[in-house]
Chain A
Amino acid sequence: MSLALSATGLRKTFREGTRTVEVLKGVDLEVETGEILGIVGPSGSGKSTLLHLLGGLDHADSGSVDIGSVRLTDLDGAKLAEFRNRNLGFVFQFHQLLPDFTALENVVLPARIAERPLGESRDRARALLEEVGLADRLDHFPNELSGGERQRVAICRALSLEPPLLLADEPTGNLDPDTGERVLELLMKLQEHHRMASVVVTHNPAVARRCGRILRLEDGVLRA
């Protein structure tokens, strides 16, 4: 199996007033193609920070992140944005759907950013939404959808460009247990279906148990 993601010696420090907090103290990890890696840890342990570094949403103080053959930490500005657009899908705890756009439009948007043909992008978005059971919600705005529906739209948006790597930050953290379970089941099926690598950050043991491999983030380092 080939490596989808590899991170080496990631360090991240935040300043809080005069205090300096070292959140990540040299994180190393590898994720293989098609693998689901769960990262667990208590709140404030730095899980989200690690996910942002892996997705190039934030810069590490030191260390490197490689996705496929590309060293993410060497990219900046427009190149990094373009790489994120083509290769990474994000699902956050709060759906982060754009409230001024319908479900279909939210899913089409990454393809528009990538300047893919509109018709093709729309067909792909519609197929994804139908795949997750939202065929009758295409033209509804996020405030007209339930929490579970919103999160399913967010998952479709993350998958709309068929990225090789999906990064999920507490994907069921804002849902009631039943809905969360259904969304998680969907996420796992889609992951298996589309054969992408995934990193799922959670503090929920039930979610973590669904992942193929689990690592625990404690005191700024990852442990098996």
Chain B
Amino acid sequence: MEVPVQLPVDRPVSGAAPAPPGTSASSWYWRLPVPWLLALRYFRSTRKDASIRFLSSMTRGGVALGVAALVLAVAALSGFQARLLGEVLGHTPQLQIDVTPDSEGEARRALALLGVAVDVQVVLVGRGWIADNGRLQPVEIVGYEKTVPAWFPGVEASGEGILLALGVARRWGVVDGQRIELISPRSQLSPIGPIPRNRFLPVAGTFVSGRSQEFEGRVAIPLDVADQLLWPSDRRLDVELDGSDPEAAAKRLRADLPDSVRVQTARDLNRSLFFALRLEKTLMFFAVFLIVVVASQTLISSLALVIANKTSEIGMLSAMGMTPRQLGRTFVALGALLGTTGILAGATIGSLLAWILDRYRLLPLPDRVYIVDYVPFLLRFDTDLPVILLSSLVLTLLAALSAGKKAGAMRATSASFQ
């Protein structure tokens, strides 16, 4: 090329140390689009200026704190929900078909055709009371046909009679073989007029009711006794499946049976509970997500400070030919880098904490009050975590976009070069 223009070199300001690795236009990121190239270099330089370093640390810390809190809150709720659902589903038949004496045969034929039921039995369910020694408790009476349904867990029976929840048996101090009174609201005629039907039945055993009050209010009796106490219209078929999907089985049965026959899964039977759990989780998510929202506002402040600090650089970049869109993208990319590092740090911290708290059961609960004696954490990596990461990322990107827009709107006027 041209003959070098030889000039005396004036002295540098400071001892000129060689540039660190990654500079000199040879690093891999010099092949990136210019906005990302600038954003990466600015990201690195946020550590140099004290005020920018403070604000960007606050931003990353705030986002990390918000995401960690979100991970912990969602994991705790998922943990509780998993335990509660396990408890509830353990006490509910997988499929329940409400039948009348006329439609029972049809339902049994449809089930046989489906070929996924391992146990089908008639169950008669109604309300009533148990009474003993002047004490009275409302109960759900379950009359079973052959064996005690699988959703009565931990049955210990020694004969025919009434099965009580273990908690009730202990509180009342009743033992196997002792007779207690079972009263039904179904009336029968007597010389003094209609009176409720009742039977004195021996206690045949107990079942584990867990810590749920709902299951403590159940009793199980043989079907022939239940037939005498309850209405025939309260008959239903309880179905246990061979591991097939209950929802799919219910769908096929509904298609095969007339509309008058109601087929419900465990999920249908606990629809309100499932809805409440989902609602609780959603509300908790948004409540804790507010921390990330506040942190993303700090991101805007942080980027605004960087932009204010780099007014002359933005002016020069504009003079060199960067388009407003490219300038805007530079600061969106910088915001994304700041936000993403905060999000990843928060997700890592939150996940680790959730694992440690669950593994070592570090948050105890009074076991007489709750269904578990510690706060369980369950982080769902396939659903919960991606939702947390994605929503936080979208929010920080929106914050970065608003700041980037400001940078893109700047003009390389004389004010830029002061």
Contacts and interface: CB of A to CB of B under 8 A. Distances in A.
B30 A186 contact: no
Nearest to B312: A96
A193 B7 contact: no
B324 interface: yes
Contact of B24 (A100, A109, A139, A147): A139
Contacts of A140: 12, 16-19
Contact of B5 (A52, A77, A138, A186): A186
Interface in B7-27: 7-19, 23-26
A133 B6 contact: yes
A140 to B, nearest CB: 5
B288 interface: no
A171 B26 CA distance: 30
Interface string A65-104: 0000000000001100111111010101110101111101
Given A101-B41, A145-B13, A113 B312 contact: no
B86 interface: no
Interface stretch (B75-83, B98-106, B230-238, B406-414): B406-414
Interface centre among B15, B315, B417 (most CB of A within 10 A): B417
B392 interface: no
Contacts of B241: none
A174 to B, nearest CB: 11
Given A82-B321, A141-B19, A182 B2 contact: no
B25 A185 contact: no
A52 B415 CA distance: 11
Interface stretch (A2-10, A35-43, A124-132, A209-217): A124-132
B5 A149 contact: no
B224 interface: no
B11 A146 contact: yes
Contacts of A57: 315, 318-319, 411-413
Contact of B321 (A100, A113, A121, A145): A113
B44 interface: yes
Nearest to A87: B321
Given A105-B24, A138-B24, A84 B414 contact: no
A98 B319 contact: no
Nearest to A132: B5
Interface centre among A83, A94, A144 (most CB of B within 10 A): A144
B321 A182 contact: no
B319 A179 contact: no
Interface in B316-343: 316-326
Nearest to B17: A144
B411 to A, nearest CB: 7
Given A57-B411, A133-B6, A193-B5, A109 B320 contact: yes
B2 to A, nearest CB: 5
Contact of B19 (A82, A102, A113): A102
B212 interface: no
Contacts of A81: 318, 321-324, 326
Contact of B312 (A55, A84, A94, A133): A94
Interface string A15-58: 00000000000000000000000000000000011001001011
Contact of A98 (B6, B19, B313, B318): B313
A140 B316 CA distance: 19
B51 to A, nearest CB: 16
Nearest 9 Cβ contacts at the A-B interface: A85-B321, A139-B19, A81-B323, A96-B316, A78-B323, A148-B10, A57-B412, A108-B25, A100-B45
Given A96-B315, A147-B13, 12 more contacts: A81-B318, A82-B323, A105-B24, A113-B322, A113-B326, A131-B2, A133-B6, A139-B18, A139-B19, A144-B12, A182-B10, A186-B7
Interface of A: 48-49, 52, 55, 57-58, 77-78, 81-86, 88, 90, 92-94, 96, 98-102, 104-105, 108-110, 112-114, 118, 121-122, 125, 127, 130-134, 137-141, 143-149, 157, 169, 179, 182, 185-186, 189-190, 193-194
15 contacts: A57-B413, A77-B323, A90-B316, A94-B417, A96-B316, A113-B320, A121-B25, A133-B4, A133-B9, A139-B18, A139-B23, A143-B14, A145-B12, A182-B8, A189-B5
